Amino acid sequence: MYPQVPGHEIVGVVEEVGSKVTNFKVGDRVGVGCLVGSCGSCDSCSSDFENYCPKFIPTYNSIYHDGTMNYGGYSDIMVADEHFV
């Protein structure tokens, strides 16, 4: 359907970081592309082709591994794996 604004490429400010995050801190301005996560261990992920991962998580209209819904750029807040920020 055209025109469409899917909300899958986002710019924002880091509000919180996990204990294993090393590249970002609260207050950093960041961008997120079309993925927020993947399995991280399949052949595709190991070759930096996460977009071919059978368990990749798109930035918009997808379900995280914990079962919560992701609404991408339409959300007030969102979660992304550090690798995809």
Q: Domain count of the chain? A: 1
**17: in domain:** yes
What is the token pair recorded at 76? Answer: 């007030």
Confidence band, pLDDT 50/70/90 cuts, at residue 71: confident
**63: in domain:** yes
Share of the chain above pLDDT 90, in %: 61
- Phi first, then psi: give them for residue 37, nearest 5 degrees: -175, 165
pLDDT in tens, 7-52: 678 899 999 999 999 999 999 999 998 899 999 999 999 999 999 9
Residue 1 scores a pLDDT above 60: no
Confidence band, pLDDT 50/70/90 cuts, at residue 60: confident
The Cα–Cα gap between 77 and 32 comes to: 12
Domain that holds residue 66: 10-84
pTM score, whole prediction: 0.78
**55: in domain:** yes
Q: Count other Cβ atoms within 10 Å, centred on residue 36.
A: 24
